[in-house]
Amino acid sequence: MRIVMIGTGYVGLVSGACFADFGHQVTCIDKDAGKIAALQSGKIPIYEPGLEQLVSSNVAAGRLDFSLDLKDAVAQAETVFIAVGTPSRRGDGHADLSYVHAAAREIAENVRGFTVVITKSTVPVGTGDEVERIISETNPQADVVVASNPEFLREGAAIRDFKHPDRIVVGTEDERARKVIAEIYRPLYLNQAPIMYTGRRTAELIKYAANAFLATKITFINEIADLAERAGADVQEVARGIGLDNRIGSKFLHAGPGFGGSCFPKDTRALVKTAEDHDVPLRIVEAVLAVNDARKRAMARKVAAVFGGNLRNKTVGVLGLAFKPNTDDMREAPSIPLITALQDLGAKVKAYDPVSMEQAKLELPNVTYCENPYSCASEADALVIVTEWEQFRALDMSRLKKEMCQPIIVDLRNVYRSDEMAKHGITYVSIGRTQASEPVLAVKDV
């Protein structure tokens, strides 16, 4: 089947490459000439494990190509996916649908014959109706069905998620469109991938509701972590204890510095705004956003508390900048408000991340970037673990202690155990757990 994927961002590129790997003929379209040129030369603009090899193998096989020319590609396509960005609109938090609407107009101008147009971008309820209206007004003769097929990909595990999905949600009541989409996903049938057919608006809301619920789980366990610290409990054991309940589940119950990334912050905001448009209050989701924003700022105060609240003339090393491991995505990463707050409190900040430092430099220019975790720790008064990369799970504590001015680690991901740190003579502060040793207050206050 001939497929056009409009947008070569995270969703579009991963989806296009996976569809090509299924055996379909896929053309990925983008208006960014530099990005298309890079993709044509084999350079992948994002970091995602396995993606570079997947793209190169399908390009070599002739099933995947990249182009700036939407006109010819859409004219030959049986299916066109809209996978453009829907960032938060400046000033009000609504999803910015300008790229979706622009794509709909261009599709309408160039479509030939029966075509299924599928929104894969995360969009508010009713967006499919608007896309359908735009296409109909632009080209009244167009034989087009508009469907919704939201993505549920985790950055860092996107290819596996695409090929082994929990579910495939398809929002359409048109039988022709159902048959086309079923054929697109037919290669997954051996994996017994469940396809759920719904109305278009229901599919759009499923995506937002899913992200809001997961964001709520993260925020809930973060608040429980704060209570655990004060009450002398262990949040990790609490999370395990409630996660073993099948009604709750263990995923997204890991206490930390708050959620970030390209999806949860903007999608929860957009869901709240959509609810306001329909005069329906979403108090829980509103609270999730407020608590998460406050938590990111509070992490800097947690570091400062080790020094009695005074970070002047202190050097703090930060391990991990991306919002999660196995990605270079810095969008709304907790490291950004953390580092900014540390600097506002007077600290000098050094940082290391395995893959995201080039992107981080655009957001955080006044940081010293290091070659590895040990150079980041060198002459630091404290080391803060922000992203739980595997590279940070087995650090040489003896070496770290020798490198640092003061042996203090603030672990915002609970990578290590308090008793292990105590054996190394390291002052260790974690999230939601009783500390093995009292914080060192300004051991080398200058």
Domain boundary among 183, 198, 213: 198
In a domain, 370, yes or no: yes
Q: What span, in angstroms and rounded, lies between the C-alpha atoms of 228 and 220?
A: 12
Distance from C-alpha of 111 to C-alpha of 117, rounded to nearest angstrom? 10
Tell me, yes or no, if the pTM score tops 0.85: yes
Residues 251 and 190 in one domain: no
Q: Are residues 284 and 376 in the same domain?
A: yes
For 274, the 3-state DSSP assignment is helix
Query: Would you please indicate which residues are annotated as catalytic (active-site) residues?
Result: 263
**SS3 call for 38:** helix
If asked whether residues 193 and 262 sit together in one domain, one would say no
Tokens 């406050």 locate to: 294
Find how far residue 165's CA is from the centre of its chain: 17
pLDDT for res 441: 39
Q: In what order do the strands lie in the sheet with 368-369?
A: 368-369, 348-352, 315-319, 382-385, 408-411, 427-429
**Residues 255, 152: one domain?**
no
With a cut of 50, list the residues of the chain below it in pLDDT.
Answer: 436-446
Q: Are residues 251 and 192 in the same domain?
A: no
Q: Answer with the one of 141, 164, 198 that is the final residue of a domain.
A: 198
Q: Identify whether the C-beta of residue 411 lies closer than 8 Å to the C-beta of residue 430.
A: yes
171 and 77 in one domain?
A: yes
Does residue 367 lie in a domain region?
Answer: yes
Structural domain count, the chain: 2
- Which secondary structure element, helix H or strand E, spans residue 368, and what is its range? strand 368-369
304 with 182, same domain: the answer is no
142 shares its domain with 256: no
pLDDT of residue 435: 62
pLDDT tens for 377-387 read: 999 999 999 99
Residue 221 lies in a domain: no
Supply the CATH number for residue 130's domain.
3.40.50.720
**Which of 134, 168, 198 is where one domain is finished?**
198
Whether the Cβ atoms of residue 156 and residue 189 lie closer than 8 Å to each other: no
Q: How far apart are CA 251 and CA 214, in angstroms?
A: 9
Which residue range is the domain that position 403 belongs to?
246-446
Per the document, the length of the chain is 446
Instruction: Tell me whether residue 219 is in a domain.
Output: no
Beta bridge pairs of residue 319 = 352, 385
Contact (CB, 8 A) for 57 and 41: no
Q: What is the pLDDT of residue 91?
A: 75
The reported pLDDT for the residue numbered 443 is 40
Q: Are residues 255 and 164 part of one domain?
A: no
Q: Is residue 318 part of a domain?
A: yes
**Cβ atoms < 10 Å from Cβ of 178:** 17
Residue 204 maps to a domain: no
- Spatial contact of 120 and 11, defined as CB atoms under 8 Å apart: yes
For residue 187 the two structure tokens come to: 């290669």
Long-range pairs for 439-444 at CB < 8 Å and ≥24 separation? 439/305, 439/306, 439/408, 440/306, 440/406, 440/408, 441/306, 441/307, 441/308, 442/307, 442/308, 442/310, 443/406, 444/381, 444/405, 444/406
Task: Please report whether residue 130 resides in a domain.
Answer: yes
| Residues 194 and 255 reside in one and the same domain | no
Query: Contact at 8 Å (CB) between 221 and 291?
Result: no
Structural domain includes residue 215: no
| Whether residues 254 and 113 fall in one domain | no
For 245, the enclosing helix (H) or strand (E) is: none
List residues bridging with 428 in a β-sheet. 409
Q: Do residue 295 and residue 185 come from a single domain?
A: no
pLDDT given for residue 434 in this prediction: 77
How far is 113 from 4, CA to CA, in rounded Å?
A: 15
Angle in degrees, CA 285, 198, 203, rounded to 5: 35
